[in-house]
């Protein structure tokens, strides 16, 4: 069995994720999200989809990007 890097649970069905050369072990997607998903630079929520990226950060949505000063960010073309 392996131990989850997020919660410390010793579990027989763990999985690993690799991002940017860093590999971590998890017992659930919830733990993986808390540790590996990027956080919105404005509100701090975890970005689970594509998000909105600017030259200075990643945001969960265009609203947060605009609130952070990126007036050109939109949800629709």
> Do 30 and 7 share a domain, yes or no?
yes
> Do 24 and 53 share a domain, yes or no?
no
> Do 74 and 64 share a domain, yes or no?
yes
> Do 11 and 31 share a domain, yes or no?
yes
Residues of the domain holding 57: 38-77
**pLDDT of 20-34, one tens digit each?**
999 999 999 999 999
Inter-residue contact 55 to 44 (CB < 8 Å): no
> Do 7 and 31 share a domain, yes or no?
yes
CA 76 to chain centre: 23
First to last CA, the chain: 48
> Do 31 and 45 share a domain, yes or no?
no
**pLDDT of 33-75, one tens digit each?**
999 999 999 999 999 999 999 988 999 999 999 999 999 998 8
Closest by CA to 33, choosing from 12, 54, 13, 15, is 15
> Do 42 and 26 share a domain, yes or no?
no
- State how many domains the chain has: 2
């Amino acid at each position: 069995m392996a131990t989850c890097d997020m919660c410390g649970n010793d579990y027989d069905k763990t999985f690993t994720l690799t991002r940017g050369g860093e590999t971590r072990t998890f017992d659930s997607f919830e733990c993986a999200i808390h540790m590996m998903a990027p956080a919105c630079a404005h509100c701090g929520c975890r970005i689970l989809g594509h998000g909105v990226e600017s030259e200075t950060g990643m945001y969960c949505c265009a609203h947060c990007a605009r609130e952070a000063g990126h007036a050109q960010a939109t949800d629709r073309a």
